[in-house]
Amino acid sequence: MNKFDRKIREVTGRDLHSAEVQTVQVNVGLRCNLQCRHCHVSAGPNRSEVMAWSTMESILRLLEALPGCQVDITGGAPELNPHFKRFVSELRTAGHPLQVRTNLSVFFEPGMAGLPKFFREQQVQLVASLPCYLEGNVKAQRGAGVFEKSITAIRQLNELGYGLEEERTLSLVYNPGGPSLPPDQTTLEEAYRRELREHHGIEFSRLLTITNMPLGRFLDDLKRQKKDLEYRTLLADAFNSGTIDGLMCRHQICVAWDGTLADCDFNIALDLSLDQSLPSHIDQLDPATLTGRRIVTGHHCFGCTAGCGSSCGGALVA
Ligand code: SF4
Ligand code: SF4
């Protein structure tokens, strides 16, 4: 039993188990136009892993047993998967609420200019990473020119109603520039709104703060700075039992680019598939077995329970 499991048992008296699945998160591949310093899946332009159409068909079949379930598409830059638009269209035809995690700058890659209109037509909700409202901080994490492209992309989305109309949400995602916990989400959202409105004339729906996980390139960076142990200790010491109910693994399942199943995208990055009592590949899964499954955890899980908590939907408690 790992340290996180021990902590959960100490607080709740049992292991961490899932509730009903409300979201299927799909990681359609690790190819990305960026190569961010904090990336937990080490995505980049040189990664060749992309989800095949046959795996997407398996997901569509799984979702027939989960009507109304939200689908959350991530990557890499998911838009770079060659089957992306077809997958989105079929999910929408099947009636699933859909959100896509975009890095915004991908709109300026060859052949991608029509993405904002496509998103609007398909009623896709957007979650867009913008790790700071200051250009210098974004440049340090994501590279030169990314901030300007992101601002231009948000402007295009605003023109289509995103970030302004209730049914077209544009959530922005903040993550710290280094080994520290995110600040208070509500306070930071006010600062984002003020700065982006005053300096760039752009709007968004809400801000999500996400804690950096000690995985992938972020972990490599910590090790180079000899701060990995210090950061892991910081996360474990900030354990907040109030975050347990809302942990995203309790309400979702993740499908990796090759059809492997996991409790969350972080577990995918660590090659941790579902509990051994369940199959590890989507083609063998019986959807009826998902609720109440034991969650596979590790020391990295303290990243989700530290402070106000962290998930793909931002902080877990106020
Ligand atoms: S953090 Fe997102 S945008 Fe950056 S390299 Fe990773 S997948 Fe791409
Ligand atoms: S890292 Fe994954 S499995 Fe661990 S607590 Fe967070 S969401 Fe759950």
pLDDT in tens, 46-81: 999 999 999 999 999 999 999 999 999 999 999 999
Q: What is the CA radius of gyration of the chain?
A: 19
Report residue 246 as tokens.
């809302």
Residue 38 has pLDDT above 90, yes or no: no
Minimum mean pLDDT range among 34-43, 189-198, 260-269, 291-300: 34-43
How far is it, in rounded angstroms, from Cα 245 to Cα 223? 32
pLDDT digits (tens, 9 = 90+) for 186-215: 999 999 999 999 999 999 999 999 999 999
Q: Say yes or no to pLDDT of 177 above 90.
A: no
**Average of per-residue pLDDT values in the chain:** 96
Spell out the domains of the chain, with CATH numbers in brackets. 19-213+246-294 (3.20.20.70)
Smallest CA separation from ligand 1 atom 7, residue: 76
Residue 312 has pLDDT above 90, yes or no: yes
What pLDDT is attached to residue 29?
97
Angle at 41 between CA 35 and CA 43, to 5 degrees: 30
pLDDT band at residue 111, thresholds of 50, 70 and 90? Answer: very high
Is 20's pLDDT higher than 90?
yes
Smallest CA separation from ligand 2 atom 5, residue: 301
Residue with tokens 């190569």: 35
Q: What is the pLDDT of residue 37?
A: 84
Instruction: Note the pTM of the prediction, 2 decimals.
Output: 0.96
Distances (CA, A) of 244 to 88, 112, 150, 200, 248: 31, 39, 33, 38, 9
Q: What is the dihedral of CA 257, 213, 232, 182, to 10 degrees?
A: -170
Give the nearest ligand 1 atom to 32 CA. Answer: 8
Ligand 2: residues whose CB is within 6 Å? 247-249, 263-264, 266-267, 295, 297, 300-301, 304
- For the chain, report the end-to-end CA distance as a whole number of angstroms: 30
